[in-house]
Chains A and B, each alone.
Chain A
């Protein structure tokens, strides 16, 4: 059943029987899974090593369509399945059940992602959600509550995020406070790498999907907030697609 194509078709394009081209070499079976063949231009640049880190992709807001790019830069991402929710749809023959998986992924050092996927099998839903979570990884800005001593440990300012009716507010906390939050946002904040934080929430926080998305939005807003130390004007740098053009132009002239 595996090779379900007609038996007399091996290699070759076209409909002429038994002619036109050979099949693949047999020796290559082993590395089929490990080799990543990039599909998008960004993927090709990443594979060639032209992009140094994830932050370059964030600076130029380049859309990431291949999760292997995120794997390449952040190999130490840990995923956490928040919930598997069965959802049903009414059909003529009864109800059709599918499973919705919520997965939060993060490296506990400034990157966090959230993925939601619905599928007929639980394993497929989790696998798909992990991939979507990797594609949605965003940077987390951390700051200080008081004196800028040691590493940043909390959110830089009060940020809030809302999804549906669930609202989540993050407030800076002094070192050693820990995460004062409900279990759901606590897991997300842990994976984001925020060590101390006060939280407040409102609305229907029982709807886990919306609550997690609200926390995720709040964390995402940390880099969207203009604080006084960002008041200095930034010099725009060339994007990764443009950076090397001059270098190449010189090279080709030789």
Chain B
């Protein structure tokens, strides 16, 4: 919106945007909400979750700590969230997951946030060695015996703290695995391994899991629903229908006239237009945490819901595998911070306006690797408040 629009009115959309608002219902984004998990979030349930340890889609090959190390502080990162985003085409993306890792140290984000987030995409075809192919809906009546035996492989050791590949083991008991020296120290000092190493204490399991999970973000399941019109939206629609019926064909041309100087002495309110639009959208469903935009095939590339006018990504890099473009897939809102179980009081506590994840448009095959890095952009809220 140019600055000549001094009324800061969000509902003053021009014709193109207005028609987009009406047709966008067909492509209404999926909103994600955080809820307490109903069933344990294991990999075979294909979960979408925030916090906790990653539930690896591909159980044989998991991430190494080198791929999840913060570029600023060199500490291993923790899982922020993972989404299970299956596709119907291409065939190798039948099962698909996106993992977002984040450095827990808020100071690193203040320093250089580009080093503090890592996004990985992992996918599996329908016929894969790990999970039986799901039943086809048409064949529900037929009793087709599924001839599937999962592949036998040695399950890779996972770090007991963060869940990535545990290549190092505790020197004393040789049965507890870690990804890095830092996590070994943390487990020894703060998670009670010093006390419990090589003991058979009955409380050991409970205490250790409690202390270890405190090092990660709180684990919640992310459930989703398409965006509707909200309570106010429905009310406004009804009102509009009502007034249209009442006024009929009568136009308003003669009813109201411009009154002298009043039309020109417009008051100005200096608030970021993009933020007002953001608030309007969020206000319909205030507890949403994810906005997932890729809801249909052959839909135009959509702009994310920005939280401020500035600080937009200048150039989203192309996919390094296939060279194809990366398009916007989903955004993580700041409301997620309420569900992570972190403290917000410190000056350098974790904070963002929104995180935008851009992934390869064509979901190119990941082989020979299992994980493909993708792109994330962070936007903060603008530092301005209301001005008069």
Contacts and interface: CB of A to CB of B under 8 A. Distances in A.
A89 to B, nearest CB: 9
Given A14-B96, A37-B287, A4 B228 contact: yes
Interface stretch (B155-163, B178-186, B192-200, B263-271): B263-271
Contacts of A16: 85-88, 94, 96
Given A13-B30, A13-B85, A98 B267 contact: no
B346 A94 contact: no
A248 B376 CA distance: 30
Pick from B9, B85, B267 the residue with the most CB of A within 10 Å: B267
Given A86-B256, A94-B253, A98-B12, A20 B386 contact: no
A95 B239 contact: no
Contact of B381 (A18, A36, A65): A65
Contacts of A242: 346-347
A132 B32 CA distance: 28
Contacts of B271: 132
A78 interface: no
B84 A13 contact: yes
A226 B213 CA distance: 54
Contact of A13 (B267, B292, B381): B292
Give the contact-size bracket for chain A.
35 or more
B273 interface: no
Contacts of B285: 32
Nearest to A85: B262
Contacts of A88: 256, 258, 263
A207 B252 contact: no
Interface string A23-54: 11100000011011111110011001010000
B265 A209 contact: yes
A44 B337 contact: yes
A201 interface: no
Interface stretch (A110-118, A140-148, A151-159, A182-190): A110-118
Contacts of B251: 94
B33 to A, nearest CB: 6
A207 B262 CA distance: 6
A22 B251 CA distance: 48
Contacts of A10: 225
Contacts of A123: 239
Interface string A212-225: 01001100100000
A248 B86 contact: no
20 contacts: A2-B228, A3-B228, A5-B28, A11-B224, A11-B225, A12-B84, A14-B86, A14-B87, A22-B38, A36-B286, A41-B351, A95-B253, A116-B267, A119-B9, A121-B239, A123-B239, A207-B262, A216-B388, A245-B346, A248-B346
Interface of B: 7-9, 11-12, 25-26, 28, 30, 32-33, 35, 38, 46-48, 83-88, 94, 96, 134, 137, 222-229, 231, 234, 236-237, 239-240, 243, 251-253, 255-256, 258, 261-263, 265-267, 269, 271, 275, 279, 282, 285-287, 290, 292, 294-297, 330, 333-335, 337-338, 343-347, 349, 351, 381, 383-386, 388
Interface of A: 1-6, 9-25, 32-33, 35-41, 44-45, 48, 50, 62-65, 85-88, 94-95, 97-98, 100, 114, 116-121, 123-124, 132, 135-136, 163-164, 204, 206-207, 209-210, 213, 216-217, 220, 239-245, 248
Given A5-B228, A13-B290, A204-B265, 15 more contacts: A12-B48, A14-B83, A14-B84, A15-B86, A21-B47, A22-B223, A33-B231, A36-B286, A37-B287, A97-B256, A98-B9, A98-B12, A117-B7, A241-B347, A248-B346
